[in-house]
Structure 1
Amino acid sequence: MSNILVSKYKSFINPILLILLLLSSSESFSKVNQPLKLTDILEKIDQFYPQVIIAYLEISKAQGDYISALGKFDPNLNINSRSQPFGGYVNTHIDNELVVPTLRNGLKLFGGYRIGRGDWPIYYQNYLTNSGGEYRVGLSFPLLRNRAVDKERTALFTQAETIHLNNQNAASTKIKIYQEAIQAYWRWVEAGFQLKAFKQLLSLAKKRQNAITKQANQGELAKLAIAENLQMMIQREQFVNQGEMMLEQAAINLSIYYRDERGRRLKPKTSQLPLQVADKRLTVSTIFDKLKGHPELRKMESYYRIIKMKQNLARNDLLPNLDAMAYTSKQYGSGGYPRLIPQAALVGISFKFPFCQREAKGRLLSSTSELQQIKTKRKFIYEKLSNQLANLFIAIRMYSQQINLLTRSLRLAKKVEHGEIKKFYAGDSTLFLVNQREQTTTQVRLDLINAKISLQQVKDMVQFFSTPEQQNTVQIASSRLAPSLRYYKNLPNSGAGIPGK
């Protein structure tokens, strides 16, 4: 009975599996034969390109360093105990304290509990407490040095800014890879259109061969015309062979950017070549506005803020240490030191001033000079980027004019070619002149292809000149960074930007 049921299920399942297999294969077949778009290449770069992945991992490393720096502000529980079970004095003392550092002006909060029981010598009577122990709470804060900034907060804010820096570095890396991929993609497309033009040129000679053979056999053309046209066919087959080689090489060059869903390199197929080149429009004002937010400039701004924090820390280290502390305590129960008041408060101030301070002065001088270097370098980078972008727009204008001229030239070349062919079949021209006209037309067509491809390539380079619009950059953990960054921005002279840029 069970065998009968299994056979019935098999007969039912097999057709379903066959249908699913056919659907999946047809879907994959359609994907392979769909025109390959530049956006498809850029998406694969975002997901799988090694240099981009490395840049993402640098962001993750910086986030780990930030969390590590944030650990300096973790609450700290201290437990100290001492016991003397035998000897002249038998006693026990336990002291617990919780210290909570904050980001606000170097303020530290603390609270604790201690209990001391037994016999204590007169000089250790402060260890003795009432039977319920002593609770205390207080705070400490700097008045001069380490008030606005200190070493721990500077390290924390530096790591937070480093995350921003690595984000911009990842975006800058993606822009560079995008520019390389754009060139590789359009070289592949151009090679495909060139091969198509060479094949069209070869097909003209093949179609003419039958007519020439027929006319030569009828005595209307010399027998030499057959060999002459065959020679042209062989020459044009060489052009096709060279075009196929160029297309194959361009596909291999593109495969480093084009990858499958598992990140493996894919060589694009000839069937994926676009049928035509679609023109796109660009807004000049928007492109130049985006230039101000170029990742290379943002990197310099982040670096400036990091050095500015070092400068502020050096200025801070020139100040003397003047720290204040206050706390209150209360004991519960009975049996403690009779002269000790159950509830008390204590305030204190400590002062320390190191002489010379050459180490801090040296760091201040070094950081100030480095800030000037960054301002100068940022200005130069902006000038270089502006020149590069302006040159790209000049290229767009020139290629647009070139396309108009070549379109007119191609129209005239075709007209002359058709006229020469008519004259040839009428006996008023030679095969040599026909070949010259056809090659001239093909050369103009190749020049037009190059101009159109170059125009789209330049436009794509302009589009992704200042920002990778498809960016998948790892985002900063805003819930972790927001409090510290918000506080940092409120600090005086925090270097939120580059002055005079």
Structure 2
Amino acid sequence: MHYLLLLMLGLPLAALGQDSTTEFTQEQLIWFVKKYHPVSVQGALFLKEGESTVRKARGAFDPYLFTQLDQKYFKDKTYFSILNGGLKVPTWYGVEVKAEFEKNKGLFLNPENKVPLSGLWKVGVSVPIGKGLFIDKRRAILKQAKLFAESVQAEQQKLMNDLYYDAIQHYWKWVGVWHQYQIYVESVQLALTRFNAVKQSFLLGDKPAIDTLEAFIHLQNRMMDRNQYQLLYQGATLEMSTFLWFENNTPLEITDSLRPPVIEKINLINAVSSDTLETFLTQLEATHPEMQLYRYQLTSMKVEKRLKIEGLKPKINLNYMLLNEPSGVDFINGLSSQNYKWGVEFGFPLFLRQQRGDLQLTQLKMQKTELGQQQKLLELQNKVKDYYNKQISLQEQVVLFTGVVNNYRRLLQGERQKFNNGESSLFLINSRERDLIQARAKLIELLVNFNTARMGLYWAVGRLY
């Protein structure tokens, strides 16, 4: 596996309009995911699949060139030689245009196959005036193929919406554990400084030996906490690195040279307003990719239903062809209404059990899909409201707990002043520091949860991509 330092990738960072700094933002992550992630590339293939499906369906309307030669020779005699070829052109309206040439000869040729020695040209049409007049299988398949080509765009949007949110969740987890890790790195440094100061005071005879032991135990505990968060940070870094790719399917890895935004920038983000929520809920049925997929399914089923209804009609095909003998005369001008061939093809199943069963199955499938559509819309609406409530509640908790952290910080400052005046103890200083450290770590957790819930709201309405 190739490991590259993201910071050195000047082109992608410049494409985002950002300087090559050690700060790695959510926008930069999404840029990499959108441009290079294998799932993102797979989403682009969906669009090509839709185009290929339409192209395949259009093939049913391609002109069809055909020829058939049937000969029999026996005992040096030509029993018959039948040659028939031509061109068939299907049209969107169900009419099939035909142009054929027939040349037959032989001693024992069937009388109905006799044509002039130079052959016989035939030009005409085949028109369905019963089943297939308004829609047939070819037209239905093409309509459904076009719907599929449109639906793959919604499928791509759904795929990318899920991918973005998955990446964003891992990003904020990485942001959170990095900040918490830094808090415990700082706490170890404070404990080490205090231990050295207490040890020096002991050597000077100002502190008892028990104080050095207490300071050392606090240092050990904080080192344990730091190591624990260091492991969590390393795990979160590896998890987020799975979303980072570069050209030629090159996997990337977050290195120690990259850092998330500082805590002050994270605090500037506001929750989604209630007015925006109402807009999201109003537009949810029309804009969410999963609801779009349901609409495409139902529209495709309506096309199928029309085809099944058409199957209840009798098959009545009218065939008419003008005939002309090849000669020096212009072919078109040589055509005459006096020379023609026509016929009617009729067919109708007496009980229509297969056709009625197919129609009923399609109607039942549509009903099930409509029920699923209603259920999915309700689920999405509730999910949107849930994420909205979470981010509002978490924003209030962040504001409240920011005050708690500030109060803990003032308590620690006051306790230090008392300690310097000889009115407090090392135990109380450590206790105040521990409370402040835990409060700061909790505030980071709340900030991470708030930003995850806020982005979760955009994911729930299908608007991350």
- Common topology (TM > 0.5): yes
Whole-Å Cα distance in 2 between the matches of residues 25 and 300 of structure 1? 44
1:396 aligned to 391, 412, 420, which one?
Answer: 391
Q: What letter corresponds to residue 400 of structure 1 in structure 2? A: Q
2:325 aligned to 331, 338, 341, which one?
Answer: 331
Q: Cα deviations across residues 361-384 of structure 1 (Å, max 9, x unaligned)?
A: 111111111111111111111111
Whole-Å Cα distance in 2 between the matches of residues 380 and 341 of structure 1? 64
The alignment partner of 1:322 has SS state of strand
Q: Cα deviations across residues 56-87 of structure 1 (Å, max 9, x unaligned)?
A: 54554454444333322221112234567897
Whole-Å Cα distance in 1 between the matches of residues 236 and 351 of structure 2? 66
2:231 aligned to 241, 245, 254, which one?
Answer: 245
Q: What letter corresponds to residue 303 of structure 1 in structure 2? A: Q
Shift of 1:139: 1.3
Whole-Å Cα distance in 2 between the matches of residues 119 and 270 of structure 1? 90
CA contact (8 A) 1:307 1:367 kept: yes
1:383 aligned to 365, 378, 384, which one?
Answer: 378
Shift of 1:439: 1.0
Q: Cα deviations across residues 61-120 of structure 1 (Å, max 9, x unaligned)?
A: 45444433332222111223456789777986643321001122x11111233455x777
2:184 aligned to 170, 173, 198, which one?
Answer: 198
Whole-Å Cα distance in 2 between the matches of residues 145 and 438 of structure 1? 85
1:311 aligns with 2:311: no
Match of 1:451 in 2: 446
Match of 1:147 in 2: 133
User: CA 1:333–1:219 in 2, change beyond 3 Å: closer, same or farther?
Assistant: closer
Shift of 1:54: 4.8
Which region of structure 1 is more displaced relative to structure 2, 323-332 or 349-358?
Answer: 323-332
CA contact (8 A) 1:120 1:128 kept: no
2:111 aligned to 121, 124, 130, which one?
Answer: 124
CA contact (8 A) 1:80 1:95 kept: yes
Q: Give the 5 Å matches for 1:222-233.
A: 222-233=208-219
Shift of 1:46: 3.6
Match of 1:45 in 2: 33
Whole-Å Cα distance in 1 between the matches of residues 282 and 251 of structure 2? 36
Whole-Å Cα distance in 1 between the matches of residues 130 and 141 of structure 2? 19
User: CA 1:67–1:393 in 2, change beyond 3 Å: closer, same or farther?
Assistant: same
1:162 aligned to 142, 148, 157, which one?
Answer: 148
Match of 1:70 in 2: 58
Q: What letter corresponds to residue 98 of structure 1 in structure 2? A: L
Q: Cα deviations across residues 253-274 of structure 1 (Å, max 9, x unaligned)?
A: 2122122333343331233122
Match of 1:137 in 2: 123
1:300 aligned to 288, 294, 305, which one?
Answer: 294
Q: What letter corresponds to residue 153 of structure 2 in structure 1? A: N
Whole-Å Cα distance in 1 between the matches of residues 373 and 248 of structure 2? 39
Which region of structure 1 is more displaced relative to structure 2, 311-320 or 183-192?
Answer: 311-320
CA contact (8 A) 1:130 1:333 kept: no
Q: What letter corresponds to residue 295 of structure 1 in structure 2? A: P
Shift of 1:240: 0.9
The alignment partner of 1:262 has SS state of helix
Which region of structure 1 is more displaced relative to structure 2, 398-407 or 82-91?
Answer: 82-91
The alignment partner of 1:72 has SS state of helix
The alignment partner of 1:448 has SS state of helix
Match of 1:99 in 2: 88
1:288 aligned to 252, 271, 281, which one?
Answer: 281
Shift of 1:166: 3.5
Shift of 1:121: 7.3
Whole-Å Cα distance in 2 between the matches of residues 263 and 441 of structure 1? 45
CA contact (8 A) 2:80 2:109 kept: no
The alignment partner of 2:221 has SS state of helix
CA contact (8 A) 2:155 2:289 kept: yes
Identity across aligned pairs (percent)?
A: 21
Match of 2:426 in 1: 431
1:188 aligned to 154, 168, 174, which one?
Answer: 174
Structure 2 residues not aligned, in runs of 5+: 1-6, 14-18, 329-334
Shift of 1:230: 1.8
Whole-Å Cα distance in 2 between the matches of residues 83 and 115 of structure 1? 12
Q: Give the 5 Å matches for 1:335-484.
A: 344-467=339-462, 469-470=464-465
CA contact (8 A) 1:136 1:330 kept: yes
Q: What letter corresponds to residue 296 of structure 1 in structure 2? A: E
CA contact (8 A) 1:409 1:444 kept: yes
User: CA 1:205–1:430 in 2, change beyond 3 Å: closer, same or farther?
Assistant: same
The alignment partner of 1:141 has SS state of strand
CA contact (8 A) 1:413 1:440 kept: yes
Shift of 1:331: 2.6
> Which TM-score applies when normalising by structure 2?
0.84
CA contact (8 A) 2:288 2:461 kept: yes
Q: What letter corresponds to residue 97 of structure 2 in structure 1? A: L
User: CA 1:423–1:102 in 2, change beyond 3 Å: closer, same or farther?
Assistant: same
Q: Cα deviations across residues 143-174 of structure 1 (Å, max 9, x unaligned)?
A: 12111222222233333333333433332222
CA contact (8 A) 2:80 2:108 kept: no
Match of 2:331 in 1: none
CA contact (8 A) 2:79 2:108 kept: no
Whole-Å Cα distance in 1 between the matches of residues 336 and 117 of structure 2? 10
Shift of 1:246: 0.6
> Which TM-score applies when normalising by structure 1?
0.78
Structure 1 residues not aligned, in runs of 5+: 1-23, 335-339, 471-501
CA contact (8 A) 2:23 2:260 kept: yes
